[in-house]
Amino acid sequence: MQRLLVFESLWGMQRLKGREADLPLADMVAEAAAAGFDGVTNLFFTKELAAPLAQAASDNGIQVEGQCFPTSIEELKPALELANHYGIHHLTIQPDVRPRALAESLRILEGWNRMAEDSDVPVYVETHRGRITNDLLVTLDILDAMPDLKLLADLSHFMVGREFPEVPVPREMDDQIRRILDNSWAAHGRVASPEQVQVEISFPHHKPYLDQFLAWWGYLFESWSRRAGPNDTLSFTCELGPKPYAISGPDGFDQSDRWAEALMLRDLVRELWNKNPAKR
């Protein structure tokens, strides 16, 4: 049957409030596994990054989402080879190029798609500020030209990047986000406001933003279940990053406990998945 896998971002485990220093990588992975996460997300484009991460995940019986930041078509190749060598859950491209011309964006994305066709590991393109997918409307133009492009949805970047005016968002913008989600095969989870890419989900006054994102993720779960196979798995990464993503107070520290919020987010999305009427 279809399953939701909730991953924890190792970047999100850096500089946690109340800790004097970050844990070594192997200990971070072990802590994520002990907390009930199904996998971890981290950089995966050199052997020095990939090998210890894959080993730590294997030691703890959990999976890996690999991340890479290619600046050209060919630069994807090493990460793709490593992803297949270690048999990770999927590889996420954060496309580190910023063409002004749509045709150039399509040339690069089509090049990556051709390389991904020979991969046993799924490859997804992340929606992210400062990348090919920086702008929501441009990304929709890309989907018009490449309707089979597989995305990884990080909706926080669109919320703040286009400065959505209110929540619940206007119907036109909601429809645009749903179009993104209909092409998404995984997600990175954080909650944004129109002005901040990451707000504290444990603060009561941010609940309207949390509710908006939960509604979008609920739609993603239903959309994915209709498109995916009966035994496929959907990954959702809790990605609550350190400052400057996390808002810090005058002491320079996070205003909330990001680890506690990651556990809160994990539980919320699992509850949301259990309510998914489309899962098979």
For residue range 182-209, list pLDDT tens digits in order: 999 999 999 999 999 999 999 999 999 9
Number of H helices and E strands in the chain, helices first, is 9, 8
Residue 239, pLDDT score: 98
Instruction: Evaluate whether 170 touches 136 at the Cβ level (below 8 Å).
Output: no
Residue 116, pLDDT score: 97
Do β-strands 151-153 and 184-189 pair in parallel, antiparallel, or remain unpaired? parallel
Contacts of 115 (CB under 8 A, 6+ apart): 73, 76, 77, 80, 123
pLDDT band at 95 (very low <50, low <70, confident <90, very high): very high
Tens digit of pLDDT for each residue in 128-161? 999 999 999 999 999 999 999 999 999 999 999 9
Q: How far is CA 96 from CA 100, 167, 197, in A?
A: 13, 30, 19
Q: How far apart are CA 82 and CA 88, in angstroms?
A: 9
Local structure of residue 24 (DSSP, 8 states): P
Contacts of 71 (CB under 8 A, 6+ apart): 96, 97
pLDDT band at 73 (very low <50, low <70, confident <90, very high): very high
Residue 4, strand partner residues? 234
pTM of model > 0.95: yes
Residue 240, pLDDT score: 98
Residue 158, pLDDT score: 98
**How does 67-105 read in b/e, with b if 16+ C-beta sit within 10 Å?**
bbbbeebebbebbbebbeebebbbbbbbbebeeeeeeeb
Residue 179, pLDDT score: 98
Tens digit of pLDDT for each residue in 5-36? 999 999 999 999 999 999 999 999 999 999 99
